[in-house]
Structure 1
Amino acid sequence: MNKANVYLAPIIRDQMLFKRFTMIKMFLGAVGASMLSSCIVILVSEPTYQTTCNAFIHRNNRIH
């Protein structure tokens, strides 16, 4: 985030005015990387993915 300077006031203002799309590019890049890594884990070892998902869901149900 520091390299993209998304914390600077002029950059934030330009993004709110739809003149600059730095934050959306970073967000979509992170979403794409997350989806790609999930797909790779599913292709390599689906049981591991299912175990991880079930553990995550179980942990979140415990918190609420």
Structure 2
Amino acid sequence: MALLVEIHVPLTPTPNLPPGAYPLPWIEQVEDFLVDLEEEGAAESYDEGTSFGAYFVFFLM
């Protein structure tokens, strides 16, 4: 039996970004961290992250 973990992160824009910049660059930072966990064998991404209401949700196994 596999354990599925959901990580819910509030969709809060990054403060003090230049005009026109992507307001949620931290999503890519979290995705990079999760890729590192996969490469170490510590976790596996179950699915791509997605927005759900006021949160961005990442899935790990």
**Given the two structures, how large is their TM-score scaled by the length of structure 2?**
0.38
Instruction: Flag the structure with higher helix content.
Output: 1
Instruction: Flag the structure with higher strand content.
Output: 2
**Given the two structures, how large is their TM-score scaled by the length of structure 1?**
0.37
